């Protein structure tokens, strides 16, 4: 059986990371955003096997009885349908799974990163606003840094957003220093972002060791 990886559902991710708000106005005055030129390829074929992997919602786990159950932030009604050992009562199974989302979410991101409060991410989302395509990676319970980028024409603007759990750090942005991104042109014309990337980012606290993020994305471009 496949490993189950924890992640926040789409709506919790959007609220937690604040990623729907991605306007240029949030960049501090004087910041220079580096435009990275896009390499358009007719086809990107290697390294996209991650799209066959999937996860349940972040609060769904397999219990000792082979049942998918809610563990964490759960509706009280779900808790009342289980005995003291966490097993769902037989006469409550149908109702239990009407309330608990056990959808399999297929991964849209495979990446590695060196940045603050990052322990992995499996999902990226993209959407179109006018002539711009915006993309962001989803945070989860353990990862609080997200990769954000905007694509306009043949150029890409990239940064990292850290929504730290530490009140001393709070919300911070780290701008790209350099990088490359390759995009599958055939998929792009079908409103799918299929890309391979490697970006480096300035870290004012440790300028000699820049942050970096590399990986692949395969996700539908929503309108």
**Are residues 70 and 163 located together in one domain of the fold?**
no
Two structure tokens written together for 194: 């299929």
pLDDT classification of 25: cutoffs 50, 70, 90: very low
Task: Give me the numbers of helices (H) and strands (E) for the chain, helices first please.
Answer: 4, 13
Cβ-contact 34, 157 below 8 angstroms: yes
CA gap 126, 38 in Å, rounded: 16
**Are residues 75 and 185 located together in one domain of the fold?**
no
**Are residues 149 and 40 located together in one domain of the fold?**
yes
Number of domains making up the chain: 2
Confirm whether 180 is domain-assigned: yes
**How far from chain centre, in Å, is Cα 96?**
28
**Are residues 89 and 174 located together in one domain of the fold?**
no
CA gap 71, 57 in Å, rounded: 11
Dihedral angle sign, alpha carbons of residues 120, 123, 129, 134: positive
pLDDT classification of 168: cutoffs 50, 70, 90: confident
Cα angle for residues 134, 138, 140 (degrees, 5° grid): 165
Confirm whether 127 is domain-assigned: yes
Confirm whether 12 is domain-assigned: no
Cβ-contact 200, 177 below 8 angstroms: yes
**Are residues 117 and 143 located together in one domain of the fold?**
yes
**Are residues 164 and 88 located together in one domain of the fold?**
no
**Per residue in 185-214, pLDDT tens?**
999 999 999 999 999 999 988 888 889 999
Confirm whether 8 is domain-assigned: no
Domain's final residue, options 67, 99, 131:
99
**Are residues 89 and 124 located together in one domain of the fold?**
no
Two structure tokens written together for 45: 């074929």
Cβ-contact 153, 162 below 8 angstroms: no
**What range does the domain containing 86 cover?**
58-99
Confirm whether 3 is domain-assigned: no
**Are residues 149 and 76 located together in one domain of the fold?**
no
Cβ-contact 27, 173 below 8 angstroms: yes
pLDDT classification of 72: cutoffs 50, 70, 90: confident
Confirm whether 1 is domain-assigned: no
Dihedral angle sign, alpha carbons of residues 125, 129, 134, 140: negative
Least confident of 44-48, 126-130, 157-161: 44-48
Specify the pLDDT at position 167: 87
Least confident of 27-31, 111-115, 192-196, 201-205: 27-31
**Are residues 114 and 187 located together in one domain of the fold?**
yes
**Are residues 133 and 36 located together in one domain of the fold?**
yes
Confirm whether 212 is domain-assigned: yes
Least confident of 7-21, 42-56, 135-149: 7-21
CA gap 114, 38 in Å, rounded: 22
CA gap 186, 182 in Å, rounded: 12
């Amino acid at each position: 059986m496949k490993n189950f990886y924890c992640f926040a559902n789409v709506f919790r991710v959007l609220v937690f990371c604040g990623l729907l708000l991605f306007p240029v106005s949030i960049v501090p005055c004087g910041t220079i955003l580096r435009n990275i030129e896009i390499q358009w390829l007719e086809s990107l074929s290697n390294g996209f096997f991650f799209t066959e992997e999937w996860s349940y919602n972040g609060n769904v786990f397999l219990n000792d009885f082979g049942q998918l159950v809610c563990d964490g932030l759960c509706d009280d009604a779900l808790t009342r349908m289980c005995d003291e050992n966490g097993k769902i009562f037989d006469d409550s199974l149908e109702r239990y799974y009407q309330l608990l989302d056990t959808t399999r979410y297929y991964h849209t991101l495979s990446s590695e990163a060196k940045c603050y409060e990052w322990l992995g991410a499996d999902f990226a989302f993209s959407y179109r606003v006018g002539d711009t395509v915006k993309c962001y990676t989803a945070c989860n319970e353990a990862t609080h840094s997200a990769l954000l980028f905007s694509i306009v024409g043949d150029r890409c603007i990239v940064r990292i957003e850290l929504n730290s759990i530490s009140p001393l750090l709070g919300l911070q942005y780290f701008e790209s220093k350099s990088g490359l991104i390759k995009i599958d042109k055939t998929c792009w014309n079908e409103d799918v972002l299929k890309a391979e990337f490697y970006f480096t980012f300035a870290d004012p606290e440790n300028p000699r060791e820049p942050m970096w993020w590399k990986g692949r994305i395969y996700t539908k471009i929503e309108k």
